[in-house]
Amino acid sequence: MKKLINDPRSVVEESAEGFGMAHADLVEVHLDPLYVTRRGGAVSGKVGLLSGGGSGHEPLHAGFVGQGMLDAAVPGAVFTSPTPDQIVPASQAADGGAGVVHIVKNYTGDVLNFETAAELCQAEGLDVRSVLVNDDVAVEDSLYTAGRRGVAGTVLVEKIAGAAAERGDSLDAVESVARRVAENVRSMGLALTPCTVPHAGKPSFDLGDDEIEIGIGIHGEPGRRRVGLEPADALTDHLLAPVLEDLGLAPGEKALLLVNGMGGTPLSELYIVYRRAAQLLAERGITLERSLVGNYVTSLEMQGCSVTVLRLDDELTALWDAPVRTPALRWGL
């Protein structure tokens, strides 16, 4: 195992410290317990937005803390849910007096720990709503979930719900927008190589030099099937076809396309995938209104990508376009 680390047991904390130093103008990192908040704390009168999950998926979630997006993020250990002891103080720190929305990826540990934290917050008088993201069409169940996994579509939920909160929407309205995005976004990914969890010290699964796993999860969970190496266009077809089938986009509808890297794939290759996906959408008569390409929900150093499609309407497009200023996503400010 070759990694730029000191001790596998301190990777998350040391990374969080460095993240806080690098982006001190945007975020504050709290170490005991570990969570990240927007610089300056909660905005009075604004609905707070919080998300979190296992580390190893950077920039998700801490990279999206800031104006127009999240008010707080809670990093767990690598590929491990954060604990209620982290989520509760992070929720309190995100509260500006108008309640807090938790955006939760559909992994069993995340769901259980966020549910427990929400109950504890409610007992303290903090109104908390939870929105589940389960955009992965690859599998219905896995080792980590009951139902579909939450993957790259989470970024789109966080951005659009964050914009709704920033413009002053009520708690009910922010929750409703977040649910609308979650219901209208689908994703599917593939792996060219496995990743290595620092404390494990070896690849999370075996994949031959000429093999690709289609439908991989962001923790290295098995996908739909294993295939031989194919050209990028053919692999993109394998990803996009089930996404569009499940989403049910009709000719004339509008969409946002996200091509997300898993951590170890060159941007040049992601644009090749984007090129083919955009062609396929055009062939189906779908208008590609907005795009995002890059590493946003990663799996350590895994080589691979995912394709995400969100059905857009005028309101969701306007909220996507709204200003955002975070370490990993910023425009309009």
3-state SS of 19-88? HHHHCCCCEEEEECCEEEEECCCCCCCCCEEEEEEEECCCCCCHHHECECCECEEEEEEECCCCCHHHHH
**Spatial distance between the Cα atoms of 210 and 229, rounded to a whole number of angstroms:** 5
Q: 57, 61, 102, 238: which is the annotated catalytic residue?
A: 57
CA–CA distance from 81 to each of 53, 68, 90, 104, 274 (Å)?
5, 25, 14, 10, 31
Count of CB atoms situated within 10 Å of the CB of 333:
10
Query: Which one, of 186, 181, 177, lies nearest residue 101 by Cα?
Result: 177
- Alpha-carbon gap, residue 145 to 136, rounded angstroms: 11
| Residue among 61, 102, 219, 238 flagged as catalytic | 219
Does 57 participate in catalysis according to the annotation? yes
**d(C-alpha 92, C-alpha 71), whole Å:** 11
Is 238 a catalytic site residue?
Answer: no
Do the strands 72-78 and 34-38 form a parallel or antiparallel pair, or are they unpaired? antiparallel
CA distances from 304 to 54, 138, 195 (A): 19, 15, 10
Query: Could you list the active site residues?
Result: 57, 219
